[in-house]
Amino acid sequence: METENYFSDMTRGSSALVLHERDNVGVALSDLKAGDSVTVIEGGGAKYDFTVSEDIAFGHKFALRALPPESRVYKYGEEIGRMSSGVDAGGWIHVHNMYCDRGMK
């Protein structure tokens, strides 16, 4: 994985993970800035370049494609919630634009 700079400096883009083939989100493995190009690693090991459109903090999720309101968000191959508002490809997904009925109402 391209994360050599991770220990010393987690402030600039290196790579991101997609945990399951069904997932429509990637997870940042370092603090990413809008416009950063990251190498996305899929569960099976395949890699491709992708550009994030917002700042994405380490551990946070970004959309792999545009997701309209009410679309399902998949991570680990399972639904973790739905979009409360839309997000562009490469945009940050978190509680400001995603909701989950279970345990949260």
Partner 1 sequence: MDSFLGYRRENGSVGVRNHIAIIPSVFCAAKVAQRIAASVPGAIAFSHPVGCSQVGEDLEITARTLTGIGKNPNFAAVVVVGLGCERFSPGELAEGISCTNKRLETVVIQDAGDSIKAADAGIHYAMGMMQAVSAEKREEFPVSELMIGLNCGGSDMTSGLVANPSLGVASDKLVSQGGSSILSELTELLGTEEILARRACSEEVASDILSAIRSMEERLAGQIQKSSNDKRKNLISTGNFDGGLSSVVEKSLGSMKKSGEEKFVQVFKYADAPTKRGLLLMDSPGHDGEVTTGEVAAGAQIICFPTGRGTPTGFPGVPVVKITGNPRTYERMKENMDINAGKVILGASSIIEMGEEIYAEIIEVASGKLTKAEILGHDEQFCVTRMP
Nearest one of 22, 21, 27, 24 to 46, comparing CA atoms:
21
Amino acid symbol at 50: F
| Residue 104 binds to partner 1 (criterion: CB under 8 A) | yes
How many residues form the binding site for partner 1 (CB under 8 A)?
A: 33
Q: What x/- string results for residues 33 through 72 when contact with partner 1 is judged by CB under 8 A?
A: ------------------------xxxxx-----------
Sign (positive/negative) of CA torsion 13, 36, 46, 18?
A: positive
Q: Are 46 and 36 in contact (CB under 8 A)?
A: no
Interacting residues toward partner 1 by CB under 8 A: 1, 3-4, 6-7, 10, 17, 19, 27-29, 57-61, 73, 75-76, 78-81, 93-95, 98-100, 102-105
